[in-house]
A and B are shown apart, each in its own frame.
Chain A
Amino acid sequence: MKISHNVVVWGAAILITVNGFFPALWILFTALKSETELAHIPITWLPQAPTLANFISAFSEQPLLRFTLNSVIVAAGSTVIAVFAGACAAYALVRLRIPGRGLVLSTLLAVSMFPLIALMVPLFQIFRSLHLLNTYMGLILPYSVLSLPVCTLVLISFFQDIPADLENAAMIDGCSRLGALWRVVVPLSTPGILTAALLAFVNSWDEFLLALTINTRLSMRTLPVGITLYQSEYADRWPVVMAALVIAIVPVSLLIALFQDRVVGGLTQGGLKG
């Protein structure tokens, strides 16, 4: 009984590990292979003579650093806006009894399920007339809205757990409502703000459809779109594509691995695009 249970546990652990990590491992293996080794048939699984040449090509064939910088700027900018607007809204919805509360919540939930394509078509035209195509703002603004629902929902559940008495006490001691918000609620909800920020950042970092359409100038491309460019310009450049993928994946994976509990908690609370 004991042994068979152990077998099940080990089997489960191995299955999950292989399922989760194999594609990432294959990306890395491919990135480390030379062009001659790659063309070898039958294919090798482990790289026989690992080389960093593909990483050098990844940076020289396309402006990979620029793509990364663009992604960071767009993701960071939209995260700041989404968390700020989401925190304000969440606080108003939790603490201040205002009419129209249900409407705001339903709108937010509806936006989280919104078909992006229905937003992309009009935004492309509007941004064209406002000269927002090929600018950071052209992506920061829509990404802020895409992350607004999850930020608001995550922060609502955090604010609900902060006892109102703490704020009342601060207000009796002479704080204004805003003062209490700043001195009591914000410090206590740092974990919630961190969770919301992580989810918003990942949301923006991953987005493809709008980035593909709104920022078409090479110097304004974000990582997800930029990485598809290696493939279309050179036919069999898989090792270089995979090297670029490694560069694109590692920083965010580390961030998520580091703050895993926050991400999982936020995911199961807020509901998020899969």
Chain B
Amino acid sequence: MALSELERSERRLGYLLLLPAVLLLATIVVYPVFDLVRTSFYQLNLTTGLLHPRFTGLANYARAFADHQLLESALATILLTVISVPSALVTGLALALLADQVKGARWFVRLALLMPWMLPLVFVGLVFHWFFDYRLGIVNDILVRMGLSALQWLSSPALAFIGISLAIIWKTSAFVAMILLAGLQSIPKYLYEAAEIDGAGTLTKFRYITLPMLRPSILVALIFRTITSIQTFDIPYAMTNGGPGNSTETLAMFVRKTSIDFLDFGYGSALATLMFIGSMLATSVYLKHVQRDAPEG
């Protein structure tokens, strides 16, 4: 079917308007990712010199699959995800339910909900680092006042994990709470009124109305948080810098250390490519949900 003159000019304008976005995506995302994958097949480090990459095929990937440190940082990342994502979800849900109860002072309550969201991740890391300070931190102060003994929070692997997780949960539950609060407020009130007429109690209403109606929002928050959790960097960087030892080093920290601190770009690129593939697989799951929820686009 031939296009009319109007349609053709509309299309031209459309492409023209898309141009800035497409140019940005092409130069800052598509080309670098292409470059990343290409570099991952080369040896490019201080041994080869940074100007003379040597093609080594899949050698970097073979090295990755035998790398203990990669395995350890992957396990640390998974552990942080497994602890912090469900906890942030539950905390966020609790905060949203609480906020839904408070009818007055909405501006103030929402500001309180937004506070953790608006603090940059690295600031949250610094503040929690200070909270968990052995000598002068408030956490140990409270423990001692309660008659317990002070703990070496950030210098024992297990406690460092707990400390980092608490910081992540505090920070990320704010985002979850905002999403779920919006979901809560879109549940039609007549559902609750009808249930009350049928004699339903608070728990029954929560179980049979609130939770099912929130399901889409919970799913979106869950997948979104999981994907961003795989990329965790700032908070552990500010709290422990991966320590004690390498026990709290996440994947992103390991990749950055390999490529930037040790200047091993070939191997670092292979590691980053693996993370990219993992993340994109998870994202495709997310996209399916988003597209199912949105009627168009």
What is the interface of chain A, defined by CB distance below 8 A to chain B?
Answer: 8-9, 12-13, 15-17, 19-21, 23-24, 26-27, 30, 38-39, 41-43, 45, 81, 84-86, 88-89, 91-93, 96-98, 101-102, 104-111, 113-126, 141-142, 144-145, 148, 152, 156, 177-178, 202, 205-206, 208-209, 213, 224-225, 227-228, 231, 236, 238, 241-242, 245, 248-249, 252-253, 256-257, 260, 263-264, 267-268, 271-274
User: Which of B63-71, B155-163, B264-272 is the contact stretch?
Assistant: B264-272
**Are A253 and B286 also in contact (CB < 8 A) when A16-B98, A23-B170, A117-B231 are?**
no
What is the interface of chain B, defined by CB distance below 8 A to chain A?
Answer: 9-11, 13-15, 17-22, 24-25, 27-29, 31-33, 35-36, 39, 95, 98-99, 101-103, 105, 107-124, 126-131, 133, 135-136, 138, 141, 144-145, 170-172, 174-176, 178-179, 182, 220, 224-225, 227-228, 230-231, 233-234, 237-238, 251-252, 255-256, 259-260, 265, 268-269, 272-273, 275-276, 279-280, 282-283, 286-287, 290, 297
B126 touches A227 (CB 8 A): yes
- The docked-state distance in angstroms from the alpha carbon of A24 to that of B103 is 24
A260 touches B114 (CB 8 A): yes
Question: Taking CB as reference atom, which chain A residue is nearest B130?
Answer: A238
- How far in angstroms is the closest Cβ of chain B from A100? 8
Question: Taking CB as reference atom, which chain A residue is nearest B44?
Answer: A125
A206 touches B121 (CB 8 A): yes
- The docked-state distance in angstroms from the alpha carbon of A13 to that of B13 is 51
- The docked-state distance in angstroms from the alpha carbon of A251 to that of B171 is 19
A228 touches B113 (CB 8 A): no
**Are A21 and B107 also in contact (CB < 8 A) when A110-B283, A213-B260, A227-B122 are?**
no
Q: Is the interface of B mostly helix, strand, loop or mixed?
A: helix
A26 touches B18 (CB 8 A): no
Cross-chain pair count, CB within 8 angstroms: 282
B17 touches A245 (CB 8 A): no
- How far in angstroms is the closest Cβ of chain A from B261? 10
Q: What are 22 A-B residue pairs whose CB atoms fall within 8 Å in the complex?
A: A9-B101, A12-B98, A16-B112, A19-B112, A45-B138, A109-B283, A110-B280, A111-B29, A115-B276, A116-B231, A117-B233, A119-B33, A124-B259, A125-B39, A177-B10, A206-B120, A231-B129, A238-B136, A245-B126, A256-B118, A257-B111, A273-B228
A13 touches B233 (CB 8 A): no
Out of B126, B136, B225, B233, name the residue touching A41 (CB < 8 Å): B136
Out of A107, A121, A209, name the residue touching B233 (CB < 8 Å): A209
Out of A13, A91, A118, name the residue touching B272 (CB < 8 Å): A118
Out of B130, B174, B269, name the residue touching A122 (CB < 8 Å): B269
Question: Taking CB as reference atom, which chain A residue is nearest B273?
Answer: A118
A16 touches B109 (CB 8 A): yes
Inter-chain contacts of A202 with B (CB < 8 A): 118
- The docked-state distance in angstroms from the alpha carbon of A161 to that of B278 is 37
B175 touches A42 (CB 8 A): no
B17 touches A241 (CB 8 A): no
Inter-chain contacts of A123 with B (CB < 8 A): 28, 32
Inter-chain contacts of A141 with B (CB < 8 A): 24, 27-28
**Are A274 and B172 also in contact (CB < 8 A) when A20-B115, A81-B24, A145-B28 are?**
yes
Inter-chain contacts of A13 with B (CB < 8 A): 102, 105, 109
Out of A88, A142, A256, A264, name the residue touching B21 (CB < 8 Å): A88
- The docked-state distance in angstroms from the alpha carbon of A208 to that of B224 is 20
- The docked-state distance in angstroms from the alpha carbon of A79 to that of B130 is 32
- The docked-state distance in angstroms from the alpha carbon of A76 to that of B151 is 43
- The docked-state distance in angstroms from the alpha carbon of A156 to that of B248 is 40
A12 touches B101 (CB 8 A): yes
Beyond known contacts A88-B21, A97-B14: 13 more, CB 8 A cutoff: A20-B111, A43-B138, A81-B24, A89-B21, A96-B14, A104-B18, A104-B22, A106-B287, A108-B25, A116-B231, A118-B275, A144-B24, A267-B178
- How far in angstroms is the closest Cβ of chain B from A191? 17
**Are A26 and B21 also in contact (CB < 8 A) when A125-B39, A274-B172 are?**
no
Out of A102, A115, A144, A272, name the residue touching B175 (CB < 8 Å): A272
What are the 8 tightest A-B residue pairs by CB atom distance, in nearest-first order?
Answer: A274-B175, A20-B112, A96-B14, A12-B98, A85-B20, A92-B17, A118-B276, A122-B32
- The docked-state distance in angstroms from the alpha carbon of A141 to that of B268 is 23
